[in-house]
Amino acid sequence: PGDASRPADPQPDQPPAPPLKDWPSLDALGERMVKLRFTPGLSLSVMHDGVMLYSKGFGSGDLQTGARVTPRTGFRIASVTKQFTAAAILKLQEQGKLSVHDNLARFMPEFPQADQVTLAQMMSHTSGMNDYLNHQAQSVLVAAQTRDYTSPELLRIISAVHPVYSIRPGQRWLYSNSAFSLLGIVVERVSGQNLADFYQTHLFAPAGLRQTAMDERCSAFDGCDGYRPNYRIAAGFDPILPVSPTFAGGAGGIRSNTEDLTRWHDALFGGKVLKAASFAQMITPMLLKDGSPAWEYVGPEKLNYGFGQGIGHLDGRAFIAHGGRLNGYTSHLRSLVHERLTVAVLYNSDGTGVPGFTAAQRAVRIEAMKLGMKEIGIA
């Protein structure tokens, strides 16, 4: 059975949080993920307009000790990090230190063709840049699991990817971890702070995130272990180390929990982190140079892309969403924008090579959103 946890204790001037909802159908899907050995554990939280509706952990965060997952268990959130990096750039724009329409060359003149690409294109995956994580030598990725990197080292690794650009900037949507890690370095150069400190000061603290951080050392991670399914062994999983936070950088270096992630979107909606105009920029679909939409996905659930956020519509209701996957971890964060309904799910499995893992994830977040919509009277 799942382990329920109350949201963090209210401050003295706040009323007690209402009781969490009992949603057996969602419990069953979480328990099924563990029973079928898709993941050792998962954490799931649903929030509406600042009020936690549902928050539970399922399964184990450490197969050796049997430690249970709770909604406050830490996970690496992988590419959900990207919206934090985009928010950092928008915060610097609010401070008058840059514009999203600036060329990268203003901040990083040494990077190849930096005068041809804008920060906005980098934040929307329309820069045309290649991807240093998904097109990296295996030996480098293995080394990155157990060592930390300086920003100059990371910049050299990204610059060495060949080709640096797969297509011309603004030509079409092309996912790029390189672009977001470079944006993290831009934040450091413009602000004079390292990325972890900038996140903490300007994003995490204003949003009230209590257990969210970008660790500057591999050994500092405070959270559950990551795993990869292996049905050939009795345990069903191999432990696997993710690349270090300083190697994933602004593309995937943050750790958090599901309660904090729901608070993050609530803070964005409530203007606690960014001004309304900046948030509007974040969730405005990007256009290519020819004026056509920069589609992330064209299918049953079409997705545009803004700044670090996928943008779509569900039954006519606008939503923002982002997923992530890193060695040992999978993440998803999704909100109905105007209804301020948020679902956060974190897994300590990357699901590699497992048929049904993606479909099972989708079933969990669909049921969570459906129950949340029903609870607030819009289903």
Backbone angles phi, psi at 42, to 5 degrees: -155, 155
- List Cα–Cα distances, 305 to 122, 222, 294, 302, 339, in angstroms: 11, 31, 7, 10, 20
Model confidence over 165-180: pLDDT tens digits? 999 999 999 999 999 9
Model confidence over 261-287: pLDDT tens digits? 999 999 999 999 999 999 999 999 999
- Quote the pLDDT of residue 14: 62
pTM for this structure? 0.95
Model confidence over 82-111: pLDDT tens digits? 999 999 999 999 999 999 999 999 999 999
Model confidence over 300-333: pLDDT tens digits? 778 999 999 999 998 899 999 999 999 999 999 9
The more confidently predicted of residues 299 and 353 is: 353
In the block, residue with structure tokens 């943050």: 254
Sign for the CA dihedral angle at 365, 366, 369, 374 comes to: negative
* Whole-number Å distance between alpha carbons of 143 and 130: 21
Average predicted confidence (pLDDT) for the chain: 94
DSSP 217: S
- Quote the pLDDT of residue 222: 86
